[in-house]
């Protein structure tokens, strides 16, 4: 590509609408990449914390001791640990109220864990809708810039007595730059969205499995005054 048709030169010579569209797409692309990297590290941290807690949980330790540790480290703990703490907290509150009905105890613990599960899932899905929006909307924004640029190019050709390929090419090329940049913004966002959605589904399934297993443990210990090892 010659210097006259370099991308930088094409953008400098483009209409202000095309320049605004390209600037918007570049900003959106930067924001989407930032969201992608944040989500990568966040999911990696969530998986590590969940594995650490499940390893401690299934080692056969005392549930009350695990609950006390989880309550102290709540801000730094993982989703499964916070779900466990919510269930144990409600379970112990109901026991302190002298509620001995096993159904009421288990239903209360399950409701508390389900509410905590939904909060954790909402946190995991944060910024995911932004990536989906970028992936679906960015191509249309780029297409708008391309259509506008082509219209602007042909409008400028109306005053020429003789139209050649050399006179048409720069205007068409600067218009197509918007489409190229929109695809550069949209494709990573779509790939990341699908990848993160799959990973979040796996984490959610793991949290739901833990809730069921922990509910079974509570059911077996419902007759004890304080749940011990499991």
pLDDT tens-digit readout, 73-94: 777 889 999 999 999 999 888 8
**What pLDDT shows up at residue 165?**
56
Q: Given pLDDT bands bounded at 50, 70 and 90, which one contains residue 189? A: very high
Q: Given pLDDT bands bounded at 50, 70 and 90, which one contains residue 175? A: confident
pLDDT per residue over 45-71, tens digit each? 999 999 999 998 888 778 888 888 888
**What pLDDT shows up at residue 68?**
87
**What pLDDT shows up at residue 18?**
78
**What pLDDT shows up at residue 207?**
95
CA–CA separation, 193 and 190 (whole Å): 5
Q: Given pLDDT bands bounded at 50, 70 and 90, which one contains residue 141? A: very high
**What pLDDT shows up at residue 228?**
52
pLDDT at 172 over 80: no
**What pLDDT shows up at residue 40?**
95
- In this prediction, residues 118-131 reach a mean pLDDT of 92
Cβ within 8 Å of residue 149, ≥6 positions away: 14, 15, 17, 18, 171, 172, 174, 175, 176, 178
The mean pLDDT value of the chain amounts to 84
**What pLDDT shows up at residue 2?**
44
pLDDT at 206 over 80: yes
Q: 23-27 long-range CB contacts below 8 Å, 24 or more apart? A: 24/141, 25/138, 25/141, 25/142, 25/145, 25/178, 25/181, 25/182, 25/184, 25/185, 26/181, 26/185
**What pLDDT shows up at residue 118?**
95
- In this prediction, residues 136-145 reach a mean pLDDT of 91
Share of the chain above pLDDT 70, in %: 82
Record the pTM.
Answer: 0.80
pLDDT per residue over 23-42, tens digit each? 999 999 999 999 999 999 99
Q: Given pLDDT bands bounded at 50, 70 and 90, which one contains residue 1? A: very low
- In this prediction, residues 4-9 reach a mean pLDDT of 62
Q: Given pLDDT bands bounded at 50, 70 and 90, which one contains residue 125? A: very high
């Amino acid at each position: 590509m010659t210097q006259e048709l370099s991308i930088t030169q094409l953008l400098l010579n483009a209409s202000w609408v095309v320049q605004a569209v390209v600037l918007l797409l570049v900003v959106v692309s930067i924001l989407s990449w930032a969201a992608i990297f944040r989500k990568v590290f966040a999911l990696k941290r969530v998986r590590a914390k969940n594995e650490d807690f499940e390893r401690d949980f299934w080692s056969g330790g005392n549930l009350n001791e695990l609950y006390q540790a989880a309550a102290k480290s709540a801000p730094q703990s993982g989703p499964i640990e916070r779900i466990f703490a919510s269930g144990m907290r409600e379970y112990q509150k109901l026991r302190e109220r002298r509620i001995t009905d096993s159904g009421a105890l288990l239903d209360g613990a399950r409701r508390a864990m389900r509410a905590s599960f939904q909060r954790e899932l909402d946190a995991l899905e944060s910024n995911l809708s932004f990536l989906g929006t970028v992936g679906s909307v960015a191509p249309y924004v780029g297409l708008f810039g391309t259509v506008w640029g082509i219209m602007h190019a042909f409008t400028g050709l109306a005053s020429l007595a003789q139209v050649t390929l050399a006179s048409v090419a720069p205007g068409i090329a600067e218009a197509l730059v918007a489409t190229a940049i929109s695809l550069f913004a949209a494709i990573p966002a779509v790939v990341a969205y699908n990848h993160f959605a799959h990973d979040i589904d796996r984490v959610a399934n793991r949290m739901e499995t833990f809730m069921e297993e922990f509910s079974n443990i509570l059911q077996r210990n419902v007759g004890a005054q304080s749940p011990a090892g499991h």
